[in-house]
Each structure stands twice: as structure tokens, then as C-alpha cells.
A and B are shown apart, each in its own frame.
Chain A
Amino acid sequence: MNNASNVNRGKFREAAVKVMFLAAACISIIAVALICVFIFANGLPAIKEIGLKEFLLGQKWKPNADIYGIFPMIIGSLYVTAGAIVIGVPVGILMAVFMARFCPQKLYKLLKPFVELLAGIPSVVYGFLGLQLLVPLIHGLFPEQPSGSGVLAASIMLGIMILPTIINVSESAIKAVPDNYYEGSLALGATHERSVFFAVLPAAKSGVLASVILGVGRAIGETMAVVWVAGNAPIVPDSILSSVRTLTSNVVMEMGYSTGLHREALIGTAVVLFVFILIINLSFSAIKRGGKKQ
């Protein structure tokens, strides 16, 4: 009798704990749902009030005059992200190839912590270094410009920031390619370099592409590394040296003192950023799934 009730109690406890674990697991679903609901609920009314077309395609951002067009910021974010890819992706992929297939074991043990260090530097420190090191450097190279901050500086900072992401993800993709691809190519008479670049690297392309998309997501959402080096004038940049304002720096610069429609327009800016990120995330998981099927 006593024994049986003990067993029942045990079963009850097992079931209760299982429900508890399930509830905890659902918290991440709830978190994403809450973020979507609150960001959209606070941003969409402003977009509606301003008008979707005026908001997305408006060339002027003048909160004092209640004019809210974020077209320059959308273009700005796209420019600096493209710049980051141009700078970060070739170096990152080549470095990944070096680490996976060229580097002697001893050197690898030295290099890996370097890459980890690059990944560990907080974004605000990157921003500060960009402000102190890169902006004066660019200004020195182009003294006719009013300042060294702009598209080029922001692109370089972001290019450096996405390096570790691209290196790490690409490296593991290259390492995951079966050795017989490489050996087969060698046996056909190709050199080591040819084998790596024309047999191994193409086989790892879905992983390499995934690393680039991850890097894009990181670059477009980055705030602190950009805000001090971009110049932040809300204009569509006309050269790589011209001042630029990204979606993220628009929010971080003005949120503190904004009120009313201005504040809602800033949250609307975050809505646009969020949509960009969701698209990038979806394509990332699509590629990952596609890569697994192969």
C-alpha cells in the first residue's frame, strides 16, 4: 500500500518535472514572440502615420520638422554591409583556407587564439579603436575631406568585425570535406594549391556561403563599432568617403532624447532592421538545411 503510493508519487514527480522542462524550453519561443509583438506594435503605427512610402523612400530625416524618411539609412546600412563583405570575405575565406589546409600544426596552435581574440574584442572597443586609429588615418590619406569618418571607415571596421565569424565557420566547413577529394585531385597531378582551391573549396561552398550570410547579419546589426566612425549625417552617401548613417546608429543616437512620433519612428527604423535580419536568418537556415541534404 505504502509502496504503491510511493510509486505513484514518483510517477507524478517525473511528469511534473517533464512539464517544467517543457515550459522552460518554450521560453525561447515566447521571447521571440514577445520581441516581434512589441517591436512591431510600437513601430508599425508610426510607419502608418508617416506613410509607408514616405517612411521607406523619404530622402529627408528631420525630426524637428516631423519629417521621417529613412531611405538614406537603409542605403547607408546596405553600403557599409557591402563594404564589409568586400573587405572581410576574401581575407576571411583565404585565412580559413590557410588555417585548414596550409598551416603547420605548430603555427595553428598560435593562430587559433589570435582569431579567438579577434572574436572576443567587445564591439564598443572596436568602435573606440576605429575612432582613435582608423578615422585619423583615413583623414591623413584624404586631407581634403572634412573628416576621416564615413562609408570607408565603417566598412573597414565591420569587415574586421566579421572576420572571425567567416574564418571559424568556413574553416570548419573546409575541414569537413572528406580527404579523398583532396587526395584524388593530388593523384591526378594537381598541385597542393590547385587541389585545395578547385577540389576542396567548391565542396565546402555551402558552409562558406553560410559563413558569409552570418557575417552579413552581424554587419548589418552592428551598432557600437559603427556609430563613432560613420559620421552619421542622414544623407545618401555619394562617395566612399562621404558621411553615412546606418539604421542601427540612427536608433542609438536619437533614442535617448526622443519623444512621441520621433520615438515611434525610431522604433519603426528598428522594425525595418528586424525585417532585414529575419530575411537573413531564414536564408541562413535554408542554406544550412540545403547543405545537410547534399
Chain B
Amino acid sequence: MSKSEAINYIPFKQKLRGYLKHPMSLFLLILVIGAAVITVGLVAILLGHLLIKGIPHIKPHLFEWKYTTDNLSMMPAIINTFIMVILTLLIAVPVGISSAIYLVEYAKRGNKVVSVIRLTTETLAGIPSIVFGLFGFIVFNTMIFKGYSMIGGALTLSMMVLPIIIRTTEEALISVPDLFREGSFGLGAGKLRTITRIVLPYAMPGILAGIILSIGRIVGETAALIFTAGTIPGVPKALTRSGRTLSLHLFELVQNPQAPTDRYFNAAYATAVVLLALVVLVNALSSFIAKKLSSK
């Protein structure tokens, strides 16, 4: 116990007496602690149920390379998820980082374009995933690719994660001290060279944390993919064909089970555990990198 703590230490008995004198404060304290207990209890119940029901059903046949209605394997869906993540990032990352570079490094203060871009990015972040899914269905399925396709799903998802990448990259770029830029200019470097050689490397961990955050979003997304990437099990032969990701696999197992349905629900529990583990891992990695950044 440090010195100031020792001085400020109030014995439990005295605290209790204080609370008895102020019943309202006691009531508020109980409310606040109750909320914390509820939140933690909820997480414990949800996760406990999922893990207890799911882990015993994680069996080798769920990881066979080919999906059949006998094994209900999630392996093709896992592969599709990786394809979807890579495709989406290939589209969204260059666009998102370039946008953020424009907003932070090039745009002048009070620029009209900037405020419009801010507003649209906020709007984009608020649009429900089912609306994205419908848009993707109208544009990519009925007009461009004529049917469900991985690439249509990736294009839809890249619109969805664009605001995340723009916002996190912006924050990372703003955190780069101006001294760095001035030093670079002072040595005779141009704007582009300053950005690519000085600003971006320094901001990289923050940008990376944002990209990983959007991976978590892609892996967990369902509603935007049902009508774009479709629900065909198995790894598609071409990107213009349908293929279900892991979260869609879970959706289909629960939505369209065949008798006996228990088999489907058990496989769904196992799939949910794997999906959750994947998302939690990705999110933990993102906040780990972000924390590294802030402690620097």
C-alpha cells in the first residue's frame, strides 16, 4: 500500500456506516454493481452454453475436405472464408488507405469534399448489412455476374468494411507527429516520398489494427452474404461461383436442417465454436497491436 493509499484508506465498517447514512448512494452503488454482474453473467452464460454444447461435437469428420450431407464438414466453408477475407481486403484496403491519406495529408481544412466524405463514411457505417446484401444482390447478381458469386460477395463486403479502414487509418495518420513530415520536407523530399517513406511506416501498426478489425467483421458477416455469395457448400471452382463462408455455413445448418435435425444442430454448435474462436482470435490480435501502438 503506497503512502497516499494508506492515508485515504477507509475501513469497511466506516464505509458501511457512511452508506447507511446515505441510502440513495447505497442504492446507486447496488444498481451499478448489479449492471456489472448482469453483463459478466450474460457473457458467461452465453459462452458457457456454447462451449459446453459445442466442444464435444468438434469431431474429425467436420474437417474433411469435401462437404457431404453425411459429414456436414465445415472445412470448405473455412477455406471460403479465407478466400472471402483476402478478396475483400484486396479491394477495400487500397481504396480505404488512399482515402484516408487524401483526407489527412492532402485535403485542406474546411474543404467541402472532406465534409461530404466524412458524412458518407458515417452513413456507410450505419447501413444495415441486409441492405448491403440487397444492393449486392441487385447489382452483382442480377446485373453483372448473373447469379451468386464469391466476387459479388467480396465487393459487397468491401463497401461494408471501407468505413472501418478509412477511420482507423485516418486516426493512425493523424497520430504521426508533424515534426516527421517537416523534417522530411526539410531534407528535400516531396510530398509523395514523405508519405510513403516516413508517414506510412510510422502509422503502419494502427493501419494494421484496423485491417485486422475488418477481418473480424468479414468473418462474422452473414446477412450481406446470403444473397450475394450464396449458400452453395464446397469450395467454388471460380470466383464467379457461389460459395458459403463459415458464418453462412452455420446459418444454413440451422435454417435448413434435414431430419434427423439433431445432427445438423450438433454440427452447428461445433461450427459456432470454431467461428467464435476465429473472430475472437482476430479481434484480440487487433487490440493487441493497437495496444502496442499506444504504449509506444
> Shortest Cβ distance from B278 into chain A, in angstroms?
9
CB pair A120–B32 under 8 Å, yes or no, is no
Residue in A28, A99, A193, A222 whose beta carbon sits within 8 Å of that of B121 in the complex: A28
The chain A residue with its CB closest to the CB of B128 is A221
Distance in angstroms between the alpha carbons of A31 and B287 in the assembled complex:
28
Interface flag for B200 (CB, 8 Å): no
Output the residue of A14, A17, A28 with the most chain B CB within 10 A.
A28
CB pair B135–A125 under 8 Å, yes or no, is no
The chain A residue with its CB closest to the CB of B22 is A191
Output the residue of B26, B43, B162 with the most chain A CB within 10 A.
B43
Q: Which residues of A contact B95 (CB under 8 A)?
A: 24, 27
The chain B residue with its CB closest to the CB of A129 is B46
With contact pairs A24-B94, A191-B22 given, residues A125 and B250 touching in the complex (Cβ less than 8 Å): yes
CB pair B280–A117 under 8 Å, yes or no, is yes
Interface flag for B233 (CB, 8 Å): no
Interface flag for A217 (CB, 8 Å): yes
CB pair B223–A94 under 8 Å, yes or no, is no
Q: Chain B interface: which of A68-76, A233-241, A274-282? A: A274-282
Residue in A117, A118, A124, A251 whose beta carbon sits within 8 Å of that of B134 in the complex: A251
CB pair A274–B131 under 8 Å, yes or no, is yes
CB pair A223–B128 under 8 Å, yes or no, is yes
Interface flag for A78 (CB, 8 Å): no
Q: Which residues of B contact A167 (CB under 8 A)?
A: 39
Distance in angstroms between the alpha carbons of A193 and B29 in the assembled complex:
7
The chain B residue with its CB closest to the CB of A274 is B131
With contact pairs A21-B98, A160-B42, A270-B134 given, residues A129 and B116 touching in the complex (Cβ less than 8 Å): no
Interface residue ranges of B1-58 to A (CB < 8 Å): 18, 22, 24-26, 28-29, 31-36, 38-40, 42-43, 45-47, 49-50, 53
Majority DSSP secondary structure for residues of B touching A: helix
> Shortest Cβ distance from A131 into chain B, in angstroms?
7
Q: Chain B interface: which of A32-40, A44-52, A54-62, A175-183? A: A32-40
Encode B116-132 as 1/0 by CB contact (under 8 A) with A. 11011111101111111
> Shortest Cβ distance from A171 into chain B, in angstroms?
12
Encode A131-175 as 1/0 by CB contact (under 8 A) with B. 111000000000000000000000000001001000100000000
Q: Which residues of B contact A116 (CB under 8 A)?
A: 283, 287
> Shortest Cβ distance from A151 into chain B, in angstroms?
20
Distance in angstroms between the alpha carbons of A181 and B58 in the assembled complex:
53
The chain A residue with its CB closest to the CB of B163 is A28
Distance in angstroms between the alpha carbons of A32 and B18 in the assembled complex:
56
Distance in angstroms between the alpha carbons of A28 and B247 in the assembled complex:
26
Q: Which residues of A contact B190 (CB under 8 A)?
A: 10, 14
Distance in angstroms between the alpha carbons of A42 and B136 in the assembled complex:
13
The chain A residue with its CB closest to the CB of B97 is A24
Residue in B36, B50, B163, B283 whose beta carbon sits within 8 Å of that of A95 in the complex: B36
Interface flag for A79 (CB, 8 Å): no
Q: Which residues of A contact B38 (CB under 8 A)?
A: 91, 95
CB pair B39–A277 under 8 Å, yes or no, is no
Chain B: interface residue total (CB-CB under 8 A): 85
Instruction: Report the tally of A-B residue pairs with Cβ distances under 8 A.
Output: 238
CB pair A31–B120 under 8 Å, yes or no, is yes
Interface flag for A103 (CB, 8 Å): yes
Interface residue ranges of A261-294 to B (CB < 8 Å): 266-267, 270, 273-274, 277-278, 280-281, 284-285
CB pair B283–A120 under 8 Å, yes or no, is yes
Q: Which residues of B contact A29 (CB under 8 A)?
A: 116-117, 120
CB pair A128–B250 under 8 Å, yes or no, is yes
Output the residue of A20, A31, A251 with the most chain B CB within 10 A.
A31
Distance in angstroms between the alpha carbons of A95 and B221 in the assembled complex:
27
Q: Which residues of A contact B25 (CB under 8 A)?
A: 191-194
With contact pairs A91-B35, A124-B222, A255-B137 given, residues A281 and B120 touching in the complex (Cβ less than 8 Å): no
Distance in angstroms between the alpha carbons of A194 and B222 in the assembled complex:
44
CB pair B119–A285 under 8 Å, yes or no, is yes
Interface flag for A22 (CB, 8 Å): yes
Interface flag for A86 (CB, 8 Å): no
> Shortest Cβ distance from B163 into chain A, in angstroms?
7
Output the residue of A13, A94, A99, A124 with the most chain B CB within 10 A.
A124
Output the residue of A160, A167, A191 with the most chain B CB within 10 A.
A191
Interface flag for B166 (CB, 8 Å): yes
Distance in angstroms between the alpha carbons of A9 and B123 in the assembled complex:
39
> Shortest Cβ distance from A258 into chain B, in angstroms?
11
Distance in angstroms between the alpha carbons of A29 and B283 in the assembled complex:
28
Given A223-B128, A224-B222; 20 other pairs, CB 8 A cutoff: A18-B106, A25-B102, A28-B162, A31-B162, A91-B35, A95-B35, A98-B32, A122-B219, A124-B247, A124-B251, A125-B276, A132-B269, A163-B39, A193-B22, A221-B129, A251-B130, A251-B134, A252-B130, A255-B134, A284-B126
24 contacts between A and B (CB under 8 A): A17-B192, A25-B102, A25-B103, A28-B99, A29-B116, A32-B120, A34-B139, A35-B159, A91-B39, A94-B31, A117-B47, A118-B39, A120-B216, A123-B220, A125-B275, A132-B269, A194-B24, A221-B128, A221-B130, A252-B226, A255-B134, A255-B227, A280-B126, A284-B126
